[in-house]
Structure 1
Amino acid sequence: MGLISPRHGNAGIHTVTGSTEPVSFHGAGLEHRLYVLAAVLTHALVGYAFISLLDASPPLAGLVGAILPDIDLLFAPAWSFPFVHRGLTHTPLCGAVITGVIWLGTKWTSGQQSLPISDDRGLPTALLFGYGSHLLLDSFTVSGVPWLYPMSTVRLGVDAEIHGFEASLLLWLCCTVILVRRRRSRDGTTQ
């Protein structure tokens, strides 16, 4: 795990301008599909554990928010920026818009009691934090994230191989510990 970007040769934080090689499921081999699946599952687990740790409700919304940015993996490979992987859906702007729409939906339906949430902020807050956890994790990859889009298409990132085997294993372990401890504290057990 290093902080040197093979693309740029600079230590520490680096930028990637424009769109890099498109990442997609279309035409990908089994090994790449398994890699992407592991990354998406890691995002899901981190989002769920993060929201569980914050005691925000419901943690399932954190899971959904954490995998939403990767919906761009289903975009057609022929599309161009911002409709590529690590494009529009990997921006705080997109996360804010989706959260706003969900918040408005909860406000609109809260009188009808159709959503199983304790208040009208729980679902959108959990979704936003899950979404943010995805962007934060992807900021620790060589491809980075376009944090300032639409003002800039530059992606910011630290080459920490967060989706590598060791880092993913560590994230899974940490999330498992968090979830077990949260469960035990809710159940009143200390072991």
Structure 2
Amino acid sequence: MSTVLSVSGSPSATSRTGRLLRHLDVRLAEQGHRVIPLDVRALPAEALLGADPGHPAIQGAARLFEQADGVVIGTPVYKAAYSGLLKSLMDLLPQYALAGKAVLPLATGGSPAHVLAVDYALRPVLTAMGADHVLPGWFVVDKHIAVDPGGAVTVQEDTAREVHRVTDAFSAALATRHHALAAA
């Protein structure tokens, strides 16, 4: 099927954003997609903060974007915008790194007051980077994501239903694109 790059823009190793993405990665894999997780925080800080697009780790990340059929972008919302860590990576990618790709934006935050960050902060950047199809994303309030001591993720029922709906729409868009390319 399709290759999906699942990008977490959270600076925290224990973030709900990252855990939500990895939870959705399983769903996408069960639907037949090859999922490649990318935690931006694992990239070298000196390359990100030094704006070094030639750094081997940044070039490796750029190759992952190039090879992907679709990209899930997950970010915590800080001050009504996506994370600076995610911005650091996106600034180092080629201008049209998302050309030919379907993109699903997801965001998490402490309050529903930040829900518009997906459409007004993140979506314009994804579009400017050439994404063919930016699906309607979803904002999840942090308290709707629970992590037990063993690391298992539980998403509040109504929220899970909506996140699964947008994830399944993303999966369907990838399948449609895959079949169209195979037929061509």
- TM-score bracket relative to the smaller structure: 0.3 to 0.5
Q: Of Structure 1 and Structure 2, which has the larger fraction of its residues in strand?
A: 2
TM superposition score normalised by structure 2: 0.32
Q: Of Structure 1 and Structure 2, which has the larger fraction of its residues in helix?
A: 1
Greater relative contact order (Cα < 8 A, sep 6+): 1
Q: Compare CA radii of gyration and give the structure with the larger one.
A: 1
